């Protein structure tokens, strides 16, 4: 891990906001499969390389970006509903990531409030948190469907902070995507980046306050917990 920014003059952390897909749950393969099915129905072949640049965008934003890539026209809202139906069924058995789950549990025990700020639907968030046993830790769950703009706009993080009753400067975000890092920083929050795409590693991740450059396989829960606790 690399601590990119000194914290001496920073406001103490009073809340931690987690992205969900790629951070708490290993759902990117499921999201990809749902999108692959959708695009196949439209006559396009989605590959993992095509999807890479769009990981971390809001739900409708990623669908629109994929439609634009393939030069397709379709009702994004209808596609999003269909994608949700496919994804929700798969999400009931989605695996979690131990390092971030342990971080969430430790912070919750410390009495620091937590929130989810996700590009998934409210139903998708609820299903995935239940699958990994973290529903109790996240009473505040903000879906991109409840804000005007998805990531990289800061709306979903600002909405989470407002619902937590904590100023953005006192919020820490945990993200896996460059669009999410950009959104958190635009919101005026600190951010831990655990990239889901490490080859190549986007240089923009270097702006994170803490970067786990090797991704989730290099994440150590004890180190993450110690880093966060030192900033309460």
Q: Quick one: 104 exposed, middle or buried, by C-beta within 10 A (0-12, 13-18, 19+)?
A: buried
| Second CATH level (architecture) for the domain 2-26+94-229 | 3-Layer(aba) Sandwich (3.40)
The rounded mean pLDDT for the chain is 92
Q: Which sequence positions are flagged as catalytic?
A: 19
Q: What is the CATH number of domain 28-91?
A: 1.10.150
Buried b (16+ CB within 10 A) or exposed e, 52-84: eebbbbbbbbbbbebbeeeeeebebeebbebbb
Query: How many percent of the chain have pLDDT more than 90?
Result: 78
In the predicted model, is pLDDT for residue 42 greater than 60?
yes
State the Cα–Cα distance between residues 107 and 174, nearest whole angstrom.
Answer: 12
Residue 1: its pLDDT value, please? 62
Q: Is the pLDDT of residue 5 over 60?
A: no
pLDDT for the residue numbered 91: 74
Distance CA 109, CA 30 (A): 30
Domain boundaries, the chain: 2-26+94-229, 28-91
**Span 24-33, mean pLDDT?**
88
Reported confidence tier of residue 4, pLDDT bands at 50, 70, 90: very low
Burial environment of residue 111 by CB neighbours within 10 A (0 to 12, 13 to 18, 19 or more): exposed
Kindly list the distances between the CA atom of residue 43 and the CA atoms of 39, 51, 72, 223, in Å, as whole numbers in the listed order.
6, 16, 9, 46
pLDDT at 53 over 80: yes
Structure-block tokens of residue 3:
């601590």
Entry pTM: 0.82
pLDDT band at 55 (very low <50, low <70, confident <90, very high): confident
List, for residues 146-156, the tens digit of each pLDDT value: 999 999 999 99
């Amino acid at each position: 891990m690399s601590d990119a920014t000194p914290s001496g003059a920073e406001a103490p952390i009073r809340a931690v906001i987690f992205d969900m897909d790629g951070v708490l749950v290993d759902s990117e393969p499921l999201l990809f499969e749902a999108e692959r099915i959708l695009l196949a129905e439209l006559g396009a072949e989605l590959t993992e390389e095509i999807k890479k640049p769009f990981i971390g965008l809001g739900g409708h934003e990623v669908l629109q970006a994929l439609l634009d890539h393939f030069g397709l026209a379709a009702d994004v809202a209808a596609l999003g509903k269909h994608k949700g139906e496919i994804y929700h069924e798969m999400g009931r058995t989605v695996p979690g990531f131990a390092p971030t789950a342990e971080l969430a549990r430790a912070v919750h025990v410390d009495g620091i409030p937590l929130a989810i700020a996700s590009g998934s639907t409210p139903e998708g968030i609820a299903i995935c948190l239940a699958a990994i046993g973290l529903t109790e830790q996240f009473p505040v769950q903000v879906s991109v469907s409840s804000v005007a703009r998805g990531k990289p706009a800061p709306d979903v993080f600002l909405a989470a902070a407002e619902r937590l009753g904590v100023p953005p400067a006192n919020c820490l975000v945990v993200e896996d995507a460059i669009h999410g890092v950009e959104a958190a920083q635009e919101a005026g929050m600190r951010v831990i980046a655990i990239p889901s795409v490490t080859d190549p590693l986007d240089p923009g991740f270097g702006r994170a306050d803490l970067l786990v450059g090797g991704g989730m396989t290099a994440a150590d829960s004890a180190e993450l917990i110690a880093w966060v606790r030192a900033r309460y």
